Amino acid sequence: MKKMLVLAAFALAACGVGGGPQTQSLHVENGWATPTPGGVNVSAGYVTLVNDSDTADALIAANSTRAANVDLHEMNMSGAIMQMRSVASVQVPAHGSVTLEPGGTHLMFNGVATPFAEGERIPVQLTFEHAGVVSVDLPVSRAAPEHQH
C-alpha cells in the first residue's frame, strides 16, 4: 500500500510539472480585440497582465495565427499629436499588474488577412521573459467587454 501511495504521488507530481512553462503566477484578465471593418488590416488588442509571483516579469513578444505579426505598441501625446511607437517589452511588477488599454500600451495586430468580426475570438500567444508562453483567446468587441477573469 505504501508503495502504491509513493507511485501515485510521483504520478501526480509529473502531471503538474514539465512540458511547459509554469504560469499559475502570471495570468491574463479582461482581454479583447477591436473589429477590423472591410479593407482594414490592423487591429488592437487589450489585456490586463497580473503577476502574483515574487519576481517581476516582462511581456517580450506576442503572435497570432490571425495576423502577419503582433507588435507591442505604446501611444503618447506629443503636444497635440498622438504618437505611436513599438516597444521591446512591457514590464509586469512582482505582485502587481499592468493594463494594456486604449490610448496607451497595447497589442498591434498587423497584416490581418481575414477581418476580425465582432463576437469571434482571436487566439494570441503572449511570451514572457520568465513565465514563458501564455495562450489567450481575445473576444472581438467595439468596446471593452464586461469585467472578466
**3 in a domain, yes or no?**
no
* Structure-block grid coordinates of residue 102: 486604449
In the chain, what are the helix, strand and coil shares in percent, each to the nearest 5?
Answer: 10, 50, 40
Q: What is the mean pLDDT of residues 4-23?
A: 36
The C-alpha cell 500500500 sits at 1
* Structure-block grid coordinates of residue 69: 505579426
Label residue 83 by pLDDT band (50, 70, 90): confident
> In whole numbers, what is the pLDDT of the chain averaged over residues?
85
Q: What is the mean pLDDT of residues 5-16?
A: 36
**146 in a domain, yes or no?**
no
pLDDT tens digits for range 89-123:
999 999 999 999 999 999 999 999 899 999 999 99
Range of the domain at 54: 21-139
The C-alpha cell 505504501 sits at 2
Cβ atoms of 102 and 38 closer than 8 Å? no
pLDDT tens digits for range 51-76:
999 999 999 999 999 999 999 999 88
Residue 107 CB coordination number (10 Å): 26
Q: What is the CA radius of gyration of the chain?
A: 18
Number of domains within the chain: 1
**111 in a domain, yes or no?**
yes
**4 in a domain, yes or no?**
no
- List beta partners, residue 137: 123
Q: What is the pLDDT of residue 16?
A: 36
**148 in a domain, yes or no?**
no
Residue 147 or residue 84, greater confidence: 84
**11 in a domain, yes or no?**
no
Residue 60 CA to residue 130 CA, distance in Å, equals 10
Instruction: Specify the pTM.
Output: 0.79
**144 in a domain, yes or no?**
no
Q: What is the CATH number of the domain that holds 117?
A: 2.60.40.1890
Q: Which of 28, 91, 94 is nearest to 56 (CA)?
A: 94
